């Protein structure tokens, strides 16, 4: 098996297992078994579990960013693009595999001991806030108000992710969308 195939299999298996069980509950042997990649090849591709986790999170980050971009690209106005993020969240929360935000979960388990995990999680959360900032500014929110509104919208989205992961409900996305509407109206 070539390194590229092994990497893809390892990332798929690790992402599934980390999502289902948590990072600390999953050993490298479980990832090896689920991926069908030999232990020797696993350690050639990812010398440590932290390396593997960071790669899983970087790939997930790219998936989330592209998913949000697709969800917002079809909307006509900046305001609709802001609210589309919450529609994206509702769709995501409704998936049978949803167990909460991978970045929030991984940071909660490993952020205090793994700088790499903390860095990837923070970059993901920063990108969401930057996404909101771009569309809030385009919506004509006054420049002195736009950064704070983008931060508030990011808190709503992240709070919805955490709450939906715990409750197993899509309702937090709808509730956060309704609150975002109020914030956008107040800022206009």
Tens of pLDDT along 117-165? Answer: 999 999 999 999 999 999 999 998 999 999 999 999 999 999 999 999 9
What integer best gives the mean pLDDT of the chain?
96
The arithmetic mean of pLDDT across residues 27-33, rounded, is: 96
Is residue 188 scored above 90 in pLDDT? no
Q: Is the per-residue pLDDT at 3 higher than 90?
A: no
Question: Does 52 reside within a domain?
Answer: no
Position 111 scores a pLDDT of 82
- Helix, strand, coil content of the chain in percent (nearest 5): 80, 0, 20
Q: Looking at the 3D structure of the chain, how many domains does it have?
A: 2
Residue 33 is classified by DSSP as H
d(CA 60, CA 176): 22
**Can you give the pLDDT at residue 112?**
85
Rounded Cα–Cα distance for residues 48 and 85 (Å): 34
Q: Is the distance from CB of 130 to CB of 64 less than 8 angstroms?
A: no
Rounded CA-CA distance 36/45 in Å is 14
Write the DSSP string, 20-72. HH-STT--HHHHHHHHT--HHHHHHH-SSHHHHHHHHHHHHHHHHHHHHHHHH
CATH code at 42?
1.10.10
Question: What is the tens place of the pLDDT at every residue in 77-128?
Answer: 999 999 999 999 999 999 999 999 999 999 999 988 999 999 999 999 999 9
Residues 49-75 have a mean pLDDT of 96
Q: What is the DSSP string of 84-106?
A: HHHHHHHHHHTSTT--S-HHHHH
Q: Which pTM was predicted?
A: 0.92
Is residue 118 located within the same domain as residue 35? no
| 147 and 87 assigned to the same domain | yes
Do 159 and 101 fall into the same domain?
yes
Q: Does some domain include residue 55? A: no
What is the reported pLDDT for 67? Answer: 96
- Percent share of the chain, pLDDT over 70: 100
| Contact of 127 with 103, CB cutoff 8 Å | no
Supply the pLDDT for residue 92.
Answer: 97
């Amino acid at each position: 098996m070539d390194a590229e195939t092994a990497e893809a299999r390892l990332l798929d298996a690790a992402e599934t297992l980390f999502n289902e069980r948590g990072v600390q509950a999953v050993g490298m042997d479980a990832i090896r078994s689920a991926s069908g990649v030999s232990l020797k090849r696993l350690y050639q591709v990812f010398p440590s579990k932290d390396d593997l986790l960071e790669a899983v999170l970087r790939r997930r980050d790219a998936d989330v960013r592209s998913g949000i971009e697709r969800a917002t690209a079809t909307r006509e106005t900046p305001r609709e693009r802001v609210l589309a993020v919450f529609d994206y969240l509702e769709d995501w929360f409704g998936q049978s595999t949803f167990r909460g935000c991978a970045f929030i979960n991984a940071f909660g388990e490993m952020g205090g001991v793994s700088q790499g995990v903390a860095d990837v999680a923070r970059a993901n959360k920063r990108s969401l806030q930057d996404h909101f900032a771009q569309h809030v500014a385009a919506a004509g929110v006054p420049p002195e108000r736009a950064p704070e509104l983008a931060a508030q919208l990011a808190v709503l989205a992240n709070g919805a992710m955490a709450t939906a992961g715990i409750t197993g409900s899509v309702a937090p996305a709808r509730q956060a969308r309704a609150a975002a509407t109020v914030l956008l109206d107040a800022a206009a």
